[in-house]
Structure 1
Amino acid sequence: MNPLNRVTRVALAGITAVTVLLTGTACGDDHKDAAAPPALDISKIDSGNFPVAPVDIEKTRTESSGYVRESIRIGNAVPLAIDVDSKYVFDPKAYITRTLTVKSHPSYTGIGVDDNFNALAPGFVVGWATLGQRRTDPTMGRVFDMDTLRFTDADHAAAAIRNMSGVVPGRPATIPGYPTATANVTTTILDSNVLTVWYQRNDLVFIVQLIDPISIPFDVAPLADISKKAIDKWDATIAAYTETPLDKFGSLPLDTDEMLSRTLPFDKNTKPSGVDPQGVYPRQAALHITNRPDLVKAAFDDAGVDSVAVASTYVYRTRDAAAAARLVAALAKEHDDVWAPIDGPPNMPGVRCFKQPQGGDTDWTAPPACFVTYDRFAAKIYAFNVQELYQRTAAQYKLLAYGHPGK
C-alpha cells in the first residue's frame, strides 16, 4: 500500500490515528464518571461553509464504493495483530487505508512483488490489510503484517501463491501444523530477516509477514510459531465472512443507520488521493484502523461502541449518552505527549479541543482536534488550523443534531 500525501494524511489522521495514551486502562477512574454535556443551541454556533444537512450517500457512489464495503466486511472477520500476540500493540502506519484492490494493492517486504502485483496475482478481487509492531520504531523490534486477499476462484488463489513465492527464492520454512502453507525466509538489503507465509482457504489467501531487524543470531522458529497462531486465529474468525458475489458489489449499502450521512464528508482539501475509505466500520474493523488497538479496545468495551462512521471526521456509536461522554474522555488522551488543551469553539461549552504547543516538535499525526458528543454519539474532528477546526466541529454537531426539534 502506498503512503498518502500530506493533505490526505492529516485528513485521515482522525480515522486512523486513535492512539489513547493512558495510565492504566482506557476507562480508568479519571473519567469513568464523565457526564454528557447539555444540548447546544445550534443557532449560536458558527459552522462556516461546511455542510450541516445530511446528504443521500447513495448519490456519492463510485466504482470503488462496493469494493471498500466488501473490504470492510473482510476486516470485520479477521484478527488484529494483538488478537494473535498481545505484544504487537503499535500501528504507526495506521494512516494508510486498509482496503486492498487492484488499484490499491498490497506491498510486501523483501519479496519483490510491489511493481507487478497485478501480473503476479491475476484474479485478485479485494482484500484487507492488518499491521502490528513491537515498537513504535520499526527498526527496533519485529513488525507483523497480515493480509487477507480474495480471488475470483481457488485456482487463481493458488496461482498467486506460486507466483509470489517464486519471485525471490528464499530459504524454505515450515509452519507447525500447516504442512500445506508456503513459507520462505529472505534477507532485505538492510539485513532484516523476513518470514513470509502464504495460506490458502478456497478462494482466500492469508499472507503473514514477520520482519525481524534485530535478532542476532536469527532464529526462524519464534516467527513460525507466531505464524501458526495467526493462521489458527484467522481460520477461526474468517468463517464469519460470507462473500458478496462480485456482481453484487454495486448494491452493497453505503450507509448504516444513517451514520455516514451524519458524518462530515470529505471536501476538495481532504479527499483522499487513493481509495476513498469512507464507510461505516463495525467494531472489529474499526479497531484495525487505530494506532493502539489494545487501549482503544478497552475504551470501546467500556462505552459499548458497535460502529464507527468514517469520512473527514469520524463518529462513534456508543451504548448511551453517558458512555459517549466516557469515550470522549478516553480519546481525549490521544497524543497526550504532543497535545495541549485549548479553548473550545465559541458557544459550544463542554467541547474538548487540543493542538500542539507553539515551538514544539511538529507531529503531523496530531493536528488540532476537537471531541464532541450528541446523545449516544461521539465525534472526533481534525483540521489544519484552529479556526477551521471550530467550524468543522460546529458542522459535525449540527449534522448529528439535524432533524431533532429544538436543536
Structure 2
Amino acid sequence: MGVRAAAAAALAVSVLVSAGCGSESLAAKEVTVDLSKLDTGNYPTKPQDPTTSDPATRARILEAVRLGNILPLASEIDPALSHNGSGTNVFTGPNSFDGYLNTDHFADDTPGFITGFATSGRPAEDVFVGYTLTNAVLIFDSDNSATSAANALARTGMVLEVPNTTSNPVQSSQHPTAQMIWAPAEQRLASWYPTGKFVIFTMVNQIENLVVENDLHVAPEPAPISVADKAIDVITDRLKNFQPTPLDKLAGLPLDPDRMLRLTLPRPAGDQTAAAFTGTLDQHGTLHIVGDTTVYKPLFEKTGMDLAGYGAGILVRTKDEASAQTFLDVTSTSRFKHRIEPPTGLPTAKCVKYHGPDDRAAPFTCYVTYGRYVATVWSQQQQDVYQRISAQYAILANNK
C-alpha cells in the first residue's frame, strides 16, 4: 500500500452501500411469490434462532455492538465529516488497525483487552479530499490494563510508508495523559487516551496537506492536536452513558435481544460479506456503517428505521410496508449501479451490477422488501447473490 493510500485509509474493510442519485421507482408489484420455485442453494429458508460455536467471541462482539450504539459519529465531532469511511467497525483483535498501525505485538501490548468499536468519517466520498478522522474505543478488564495498553500501543506506533522518516511524540495541553505521536511526512496524528476501562484511539489523516515535491514529502501543517482533543472530549462524554458488562456476565448477553437475527440470513462460516460481523445495531449504531450520513440520517427518521441485523447481508426494519419500499428506492439507486434481471421466481427483487470507482465494492447486489423489512445482500458471483436474496426472502415469508 502506498503512502497516499495509507494516509487516507480509515479502516480495513469496505461496508454497506452509499445512496446515490436517481429517481427510479421500485414499487413492488402485486405478485405472489411461489417459494418452491426459488433457487436458494444451500442457504436456510426458515427463521432460526442464532447459535454460536464460540460463545466467548460472540459475547465480545455483542459487547462491541452495544458500544457502537452509543459512540458518536465522526460528523458529531466535525460536521464536515459527513461521509463514513469504509472499515471494520466491530473488532476483537488488531484487524481494524492493519495497514497504518504496527499490530504485530497487539496481543502483548493489550493484556486485558475485551473488545472494541471503530468509526471514521471524511468530507467526501473521495478519500483524497479533506482529512479522515478515525476513532476507536477499546474496552479492557480494568483501569490499569487500559492505561498500560495506551502506553504500549503508543510505543509500538505507526506503520510509516515514507522511507527515512520518523514519527515524533507530541503532547496535548488539554489531555496531558493522552499518548500522541505525529508523523509529519505523512500528515498523520495518532492518539491513545486512557479513561477508566477504556482507551480512546484517534487518528487524523490530513491527506490534503500532503505535498510531494521532487519525491520529497513536505509537511507544512502542524500536528492537528486540536482535532484529537475534540474527539476525546466528545467520546468521553458519550461514554458516560455506557457501562461495560462485567466479565462474569458477558457470556449471558442475549444473542438476539430484538428477534432480528432470527430473520436475518445467517453468515456462512468464513464469510466476510456485509459488515463482517453478526449482530444488531440500532438506528444510531447503523449510521456508523452507511455512506453519506446526510442522506441516511433523514431517511432513517422518515422511514422509522429502528434496527438493522447483520449476517450474510443486512436486514433493516422500518415502520411499515410503504416505508420499506421508500428505503429500498433510495438505497438501491446510484449511477454506479446498473440494473440486471432479478432471480427466477422473485420479480420484486432489485438486482444491480456495480461499475464504479470503489475497487472494494462487491460486483453484485440484490435488494428486496417484505412487509416492513428491507433486505440487502452482496456477492462476488451473480448466482450466489440470487440465492442469497431468494433465501432471505423465504426466511421473511416463512416467519409465521
TM-score (norm 2): 0.82
**Structure with more relative contact order (C-alpha pairs < 8 Å, separation 6 or more):** 1
Partners of 1:213 and 1:363 lie apart in 2 by 20
Q: Which amino acid aligns with 2:199?
A: V
Corresponding position of 1:81? 74
Q: Displacement, 1:329?
A: 0.5
Corresponding position of 1:394? 390
Q: Displacement, 1:167?
A: 4.0
Same amino acid, percent of matched pairs: 26
Q: Displacement, 1:44?
A: 5.3
Q: Deviations over 1:212-249 (max 9, x none)?
A: 2342653336x223223212221222222121112222
1:47 to 26, 39, 47: 39
Q: Deviations over 1:328-368 (max 9, x none)?
A: 011112xx2322112323343332221147xx889440422
Partners of 2:382 and 2:105 lie apart in 1 by 43
Q: Deviations over 1:307-338 (max 9, x none)?
A: 110111210011111111110011112xx232
2:65 to 64, 72, 79: 72
Corresponding position of 2:121? 132
Secondary structure of residue in 1 paired with 2:83: coil
Q: Which amino acid aligns with 1:337?
A: R
Partners of 2:59 and 2:32 lie apart in 1 by 36
Q: Deviations over 1:155-212 (max 9, x none)?
A: 111112222333456142325x43443333223xxx2122222222211111111122
Q: How do residues 167-186 of structure 1 correspond to structure 2 at under 5 angstroms?
A: 167=156, 170-174=168-172, 177-186=174-183
Q: How do residues 8-407 of structure 1 correspond to structure 2 at under 5 angstroms?
A: 16-22=15-21, 30=23, 35=27, 37-38=29-30, 40-43=32-35, 45-49=37-41, 50-58=43-51, 62-94=55-87, 97-102=88-93, 104=95, 106-107=97-98, 109=100, 113-167=102-156, 170-174=168-172, 177-187=174-184, 191-215=185-209, 218-220=220-222, 223-267=224-268, 271-272=271-272, 277-333=277-333, 336-356=334-354, 363-404=359-400
TM-score (norm 1): 0.81
Q: 1:133 to 1:375 in 2, by over 3 A?
A: same
- Kindly indicate whether the alpha-carbon contact (under 8 Å) linking 1:332 and 1:371 is maintained by their aligned counterparts in 2: yes
Q: 1:299 to 1:206 in 2, by over 3 A?
A: same
Secondary structure of residue in 1 paired with 2:145: helix
Partners of 1:61 and 1:258 lie apart in 2 by 20
Q: 1:348 to 1:203 in 2, by over 3 A?
A: same
Aligned structure 1 segments of 4 or more residues deviating by more than 6 angstroms: none
- Kindly indicate whether the alpha-carbon contact (under 8 Å) linking 1:195 and 1:220 is maintained by their aligned counterparts in 2: no
Structure 2: where are the runs of 5+ without partners?
1-12, 158-166, 212-218
Corresponding position of 2:8? none
- Kindly indicate whether the alpha-carbon contact (under 8 Å) linking 2:265 and 2:391 is maintained by their aligned counterparts in 1: yes
Q: 1:145 to 1:283 in 2, by over 3 A?
A: same
Secondary structure of residue in 1 paired with 2:172: coil
Q: Deviations over 1:122-149 (max 9, x none)?
A: 2212111112234545455422111101
Structure 1: where are the runs of 5+ without partners?
1-11, 24-29
Partners of 1:289 and 1:361 lie apart in 2 by 19
Q: Displacement, 1:381?
A: 1.9
Q: Which amino acid aligns with 2:305?
A: V
Partners of 2:16 and 2:35 lie apart in 1 by 32
- Kindly indicate whether the alpha-carbon contact (under 8 Å) linking 1:34 and 1:322 is maintained by their aligned counterparts in 2: no
Partners of 1:203 and 1:147 lie apart in 2 by 14
- Kindly indicate whether the alpha-carbon contact (under 8 Å) linking 1:113 and 1:120 is maintained by their aligned counterparts in 2: no
CA RMSD of aligned residues (A): 2.9
Q: Which amino acid aligns with 1:181?
A: A
- Kindly indicate whether the alpha-carbon contact (under 8 Å) linking 1:193 and 1:218 is maintained by their aligned counterparts in 2: no
- Kindly indicate whether the alpha-carbon contact (under 8 Å) linking 2:367 and 2:375 is maintained by their aligned counterparts in 1: yes
- Kindly indicate whether the alpha-carbon contact (under 8 Å) linking 1:100 and 1:127 is maintained by their aligned counterparts in 2: yes
- Kindly indicate whether the alpha-carbon contact (under 8 Å) linking 1:99 and 1:129 is maintained by their aligned counterparts in 2: yes
User: What is the number of equivalent residue pairs in this alignment?
Assistant: 369
Q: Deviations over 1:231-286 (max 9, x none)?
A: 22212222221211122222211113321121111225x6249x961111222222
Q: Which amino acid aligns with 1:74?
A: L
Secondary structure of residue in 2 paired with 1:115: coil
Partners of 2:202 and 2:172 lie apart in 1 by 13
Q: 1:218 to 1:171 in 2, by over 3 A?
A: farther
